[in-house]
Amino acid sequence: MKFLISLALGASVLAFGVVARGEIKIVADHNPNESASPAFKFKNVPTPSKNDAATNARFTILDGERDDNGGDLDKLHDGKLPSEEDEPAENFFSNAATEGGRLRVDLGKLIEIKQVNTYSWHPNTRGPQVYKLYAADGKAETFNAQPRKATELEKCGWKLIAKVDTRPKEGEGGGQYGVSISDSDGIIGKYRYLLFDMVRTENDDAFGNTFYSEIDVIGNDSDAGAGAGASEQAFIMHSADGYCEISIDTSAAPTLKDWAENGLAPVLAEWYPKIVAMLPSEAYTVPRQFEVMIRPGKGVAATGGARVTANSTWLQTELAGEAIGELVHEEVHVVQQYGNARRNSPIVTRSPGWLVEGIADYIHWFKYEPQSHGADLIWMRTRRNFSPRYDGSYRVTANFLNWVTEKYDQDLVKQLNAAMRQGKYHEDLWKEHTGHSLHELADEWKAGLEEQLAMPTEPKKQSS
Ligand SMILES: [Zn+2]
CA–centroid distance, residue 325 to ligand 1 (Å):
11
CA–centroid distance, residue 357 to ligand 1 (Å):
5
State which residues of the chain have pLDDT below 70: 1-21, 222-233, 344, 458-464
Domain with CATH 2.60.120.260 in the chain: 10-219
User: What is the DSSP annotation of 423-459?
Assistant: T---THHHHHHHSS-HHHHHHHHHHHHHHHHHSPPPP
pLDDT for 71 equals 92
CA–centroid distance, residue 262 to ligand 1 (Å):
24
Is residue 250 packed enough to be buried (19+ CB in 10 Å), middle (13-18) or exposed (0-12)?
A: buried
What residues does the ion ligand 1 have nearby, CB within 5 Å? Answer: 357, 360
CA–centroid distance, residue 92 to ligand 1 (Å):
39
CA–centroid distance, residue 358 to ligand 1 (Å):
8
> Which helix (H) or strand (E) element contains residue 38?
none
CA–centroid distance, residue 228 to ligand 1 (Å):
32
Does residue 194 contact residue 133 with C-beta atoms inside 8 Å? yes
CA–centroid distance, residue 431 to ligand 1 (Å):
26
Secondary structure of 120-155 in HEC code, one letter for each residue: EEECCCCCCCEEEEEEECCCCCCCCCCCCCCCCHHH
Q: How far apart are the first and last CA of the chain?
A: 88
CA–centroid distance, residue 437 to ligand 1 (Å):
25
pLDDT for 14 equals 43
pLDDT for 274 equals 98
Sign of CA dihedral 118, 52, 138, 331: positive
pLDDT for 233 equals 66
Q: How far apart are CA 196 and CA 131, in angstroms?
A: 6
Alpha helices, DSSP H only, in 363-427?
A: 377-380, 394-407, 412-421
Residues forming beta bridges with residue 301, ordered by sequence position: 310
Does residue 268 contact residue 292 with C-beta atoms inside 8 Å? yes
CA–centroid distance, residue 229 to ligand 1 (Å):
31
- For β-strands 307-311 and 289-295, DSSP reports them as parallel
Does residue 174 contact residue 180 with C-beta atoms inside 8 Å? no
Q: How far apart are CA 247 and CA 204, in angstroms?
A: 41
CA–centroid distance, residue 156 to ligand 1 (Å):
20
Closest CA to 120 of 37, 205, 201, 213: 213
Domain with CATH 3.30.2010.30 in the chain: 230-337
CA–centroid distance, residue 417 to ligand 1 (Å):
14
What pTM did the predictor assign? Answer: 0.56
Residue 43 DSSP code: S
Q: How far apart are CA 180 and CA 28, in angstroms?
A: 6
CA–centroid distance, residue 393 to ligand 1 (Å):
9
Amino acid occupying residue 421: R
CA–centroid distance, residue 200 to ligand 1 (Å):
40
CATH class of 230-337: alpha beta
Residue 432 phi, psi (nearest 5): -55, -40
pLDDT for 431 equals 98
Give the homologous superfamily in CATH for domain 10-219: Galactose-binding domain-like (2.60.120.260)
For 26, 84, 240, 320, 420, the CA distances from 178, given in Å and listed in that order, are: 10, 15, 41, 54, 46
